[in-house]
Amino acid sequence: MGRQLVPRLVRAGHEVHGMSRSESKRELLRELGAVPVVADALDPDQVARAVATASPDVVVHQLTAIGPMDMRHFDRAFAGTNRLRTEGTDHLLSAARAVGVTRFVAQSFFAGYDRVGGTVKTEDDPFGTEPPAGMEQTVGAIRHVEDAVLAATWTEGLVLRYGGFYGPHTSLGPDGEQTEVVRRRRFPVVGDGGGVWSFVHIADAADATVAAVERGAPGVYNVVDDEPATVATWLPLLAQALGAPAPMRVPRLVGKLLAGETGAVMMTELRGASNAKARRELGWSPAHATWRDGFRELGAQVRVEGGAAA
């Protein structure tokens, strides 16, 4: 996200201070147009000093530490990110309050909607109250971000429930982990493939984030494209776009053995999200209106950069 977001904020006239725990990111942040700041987001004193030095009007919380995906052990794979979404959020909010930050924008994720009722959810629908087995800690951490930011009455708190990212430097990019799994036919359609996913191109997500920095009332916004779709719909078309074999189809029980209960639920029961509120109140519209166009673009990039699927 930072690679997309920082240049956009700079072009919009903002002075950006980019915080990373890694010294190696200094030069990249500087190249993107940000003032680099090295601090450990889990150290409250370092965060307090970093925020006090920058003295920002707005804080944009995009802290993650996502490693290789392991659907069978989802919470374990997201353990680092979960700490950033709990402890890290609290440290950022405390530091922001101390310097009088007027707006606080935070990252969330669409996949926490309760799996009841309609297949496409709005921001008013129940969220995060019944997470799948194995995903309790991750959904709990997302809820912590949302609850803490929205409860901060001393600032304007906005929460962005992003769709699944795809595009450059994401796991569903030209050289991404998910892309490779699909190309190697290791991402099957489980059961009826009835889980509904919402996607957003990383560039469109960054555009929405700039909009949230500059306007919009406090609250939650789904930042997704215009077409929520079932796994049974989007996965075969993604494979086709990548020049890969059609995905295998396996019964739900087999899918559960392969990817755990979390994976089976995401493939068969997930709910998608509507972007109507973000379009209306943030004045945002995705350039990639549907994943169909975006996946074709991704496929063209993969064929140029990586050749045919192995």
Identify the pLDDT of residue 303.
Answer: 78
Residue 56 sits at φ, ψ, to 5 deg, of: -80, 160
- pTM value is 0.95
| Rounded (to 5) percent helix, strand, coil in the chain | 45, 15, 35
Identify the pLDDT of residue 306.
Answer: 59
d(CA 298, CA 203): 13
* DSSP for 137-193, written as a single string: HHHHHHHHHHHHHHT-TTSEEEEEEE-EEESTTSTTSTT-HHHHHHHTT--PEETT-
* DSSP for 47-104, written as a single string: HHHHHHHH--SEEEE------S--GGGHHHHTHHHHHIIIIIHHHHHHHHHHHT-SEE
Identify the pLDDT of residue 309.
Answer: 42
pLDDT digits (tens, 9 = 90+) for 128-141: 998 988 899 999 99
For the chain, 310 residues long, the average pLDDT of each consecutive 10-residue run is 97 97 93 97 98 98 85 88 97 98 98 95 96 91 98 98 96 94 95 97 98 98 98 98 96 90 93 98 97 96 63
pLDDT digits (tens, 9 = 90+) for 16-73: 999 999 898 999 999 999 999 999 999 999 999 999 999 999 999 999 987 777 778 8
| Six token digits for residue 200 | 């957003």
d(CA 112, CA 288): 23
Looking only at the bridges linking them, the beta strands covering 35-38 and 199-201 are unpaired
Identify the pLDDT of residue 258.
Answer: 86
Looking only at the bridges linking them, the beta strands covering 120-121 and 189-190 are unpaired
Q: Using an 8 Å Cβ cutoff, are 105 and 61 in contact?
A: yes
Give the gyration radius of the chain's Cα atoms. Answer: 19
Identify the pLDDT of residue 220.
Answer: 98
